[in-house]
Amino acid sequence: MTQRVVLAYSGGLDTSVAIGWIAEQTGAEVIAVAIDVGQGGEDMTVIRERALACGASAAEVVDAREEFAAGYCLPALKANALYMDRYPLVSALSRPLIVEHLARVARQHGADTVAHGCTGKGNDQVRFEVGLASLAPGVSVLAPVRDSGMTRDKAIAFAEEKGLPIDVTSRSPYSIDQNLWGRAVETGHLEDIWNAPWEDVYDYTADPAVPRDPDELVLTFAEGIPVAIDGRSLSPLAIITELNARAGAQGVGRLDLVEDRLVGIKSREVYEAPGAIALITAHQELENVCVERDLARFKRQAEQRWSELVYDGLWFSPLKSALDVFMNEASRHVTGDIRLRLHGGRPVVTGRRSPVSLYDYELATYDTGDTFDQALAKGFVELWGLPSKIAAMREHKSGS
Ligand code: ARG
């Protein structure tokens, strides 16, 4: 029986060549799977046709945008997920979803191998392979770019020799990965980390330095999930899409950082994530209003751990699953509205209201109507400082 290999297919040069390359090297039938996670660009039917024209025995395209928004972007929002305090995990979030579909197609077609086009230098190989090991432990992996010498020059030569229907000439100087949650750009002039990014790097965001009128909106959350913009109830996909457009038009969500990859390399990456950054900013502030102090303090540590696990390819790990339960529990009262002003590249919260707010005007006010009993503060402060005071007295006594 002919073996079958399921290939994670993007429609680009590398994975198009990989179809014939894998077929030649293994004699297997190649089943191409392309996933729409909101990357835009070419129509998915065009990508499907190209896979077949490049020799795939079957090709499947999946519109996974709603699934990506609800099942991946929203959990990241609940966790305020920012790797190294800044990167909203754009690529890291899409990989486990792609893996779920690869594992499903492999099961449906009785394939025992899954292939991807990642190099050996990045995080994505880890996310694909560790994810696959968790969901389909019996399935083995082929990585032609990493493991069988399919370099870019060889890929172009292969495409020309076989007359594959791929444009090998119009190549961007950048390596780009984009989806609904944002866009990642590396290589080219960015590899010199002293170089400022050129404007042609950006696509989701307008130049924040250009003067323009601000945009203001009200975001409604229910239990940590955004459910409406300006009172219009919308799906997660529609909310993220609208915020990408509106925050992007104000230049919100650009970032430029040197990050620590799992494989040990420090790499420079430019990101734009207008919707993600606007949502996280609003969500964090609503949490400030609705989440009790110790839970909020602890959640920040859990958020960092969640972000590292997802960055490191451990989406399907037991700790990540357990932290998701924590995030959901911590989000139970994160309900209410945030007014957000988008302007000059920044999302600024200008108002908050919630039916389950912990902000008590009467406790907070310095005006008449104050219900806070200041007499209680005196003893509290004394006892709070007591351990420090006793320790300091010991230092004085011993003369140090
Ligand atoms: N460094 C990011 C990550 O590991 C993005 C990688 C995406 N690739 C790219 N071509 N920019 O999540």
HEC secondary structure over 288-305: HHHCCHHHHHHHHHHHHH
Active site residue 124: yes
Task: Provide the pLDDT for residue 169.
Answer: 78
CA of 177 to the centre of ligand 1 (A): 6
Q: What is the domain count for the chain?
A: 3
For residue 37, being part of any structural domain is answered with yes
Q: Which of 4, 48, 50, 95 is catalytic?
A: 95
Residue nearest to atom 7 of ligand 1 (CA): 177
Alpha-carbon span 81 to 157, nearest angstrom: 41
Q: Which of 72, 86, 87, 124 to mutate to test the pocket of ligand 1 (most atoms within 8 A of CB)?
A: 124
- Within this chain, do residues 39 and 154 fall inside the same structural domain, yes or no? yes
CB 145 within 8 A of CB 117: yes
Active site residue 172: no
Sheet holding 4-8, edge to edge: 58-63, 29-36, 4-8, 113-115, 140-142
Q: What angle do CA 315, 47, 104 make, to 5 degrees?
A: 40
- Within this chain, do residues 209 and 285 fall inside the same structural domain, yes or no? yes
For residue 304, being part of any structural domain is answered with no
The 10s digit of each residue's pLDDT in 179-232 is: 999 999 999 999 999 999 999 999 999 999 999 999 999 999 999 999 999 999
Q: Which of 37, 83, 91 to mutate to test the pocket of ligand 1 (most atoms within 8 A of CB)?
A: 91
Q: Which of 175, 317, 354, 357 is catalytic?
A: 175
Q: Which of 86, 89, 186, 314 to mutate to test the pocket of ligand 1 (most atoms within 8 A of CB)?
A: 186
For residue 382, give the 3-state DSSP assignment.
helix
Alpha-carbon span 146 to 157, nearest angstrom: 18
Only one residue has tokens 């307008």, namely 206
β-strand 225-229 against 58-63: which pairing, if any? unpaired
CA of 162 to the centre of ligand 1 (A): 30
- Within this chain, do residues 58 and 95 fall inside the same structural domain, yes or no? yes
For residue 233, being part of any structural domain is answered with yes
Alpha-carbon span 270 to 99, nearest angstrom: 25
Active site residue 324: no
Q: Domain ends where: 153, 171, 189? A: 171
Task: Provide the pLDDT for residue 170.
Answer: 67
pTM of the model: 0.96
- Within this chain, do residues 84 and 149 fall inside the same structural domain, yes or no? yes
Ranges in the chain, pLDDT < 50: none
- Within this chain, do residues 228 and 344 fall inside the same structural domain, yes or no? yes
Nearest to 265 by CA among 121, 67, 73: 121
CB 22 within 8 A of CB 15: no
Alpha-carbon span 300 to 288, nearest angstrom: 12
- Within this chain, do residues 160 and 215 fall inside the same structural domain, yes or no? no
Active site residue 95: yes
Show the domain range for 197: 176-291+333-353
For residue 53, being part of any structural domain is answered with yes
Pocket of ligand 1 (CB under 6 A): 91-92, 123, 175-177, 184-186, 269
Cβ neighbours for 3, distance < 8 A, ≥ 6 positions apart: 26, 27, 28, 29, 111, 112, 113
Task: Provide the pLDDT for residue 152.
Answer: 87
CATH number of domain containing 270: 3.90.1260.10
Torsions phi, psi for 349 (to 5 deg): -75, 125
CB 152 within 8 A of CB 12: no
- Within this chain, do residues 128 and 27 fall inside the same structural domain, yes or no? yes
- Within this chain, do residues 76 and 160 fall inside the same structural domain, yes or no? yes
CATH number of domain containing 381: 1.20.5
Task: Provide the pLDDT for residue 60.
Answer: 98
For residue 297, being part of any structural domain is answered with no
The 10s digit of each residue's pLDDT in 32-43 is: 999 999 999 999
CA of 184 to the centre of ligand 1 (A): 6
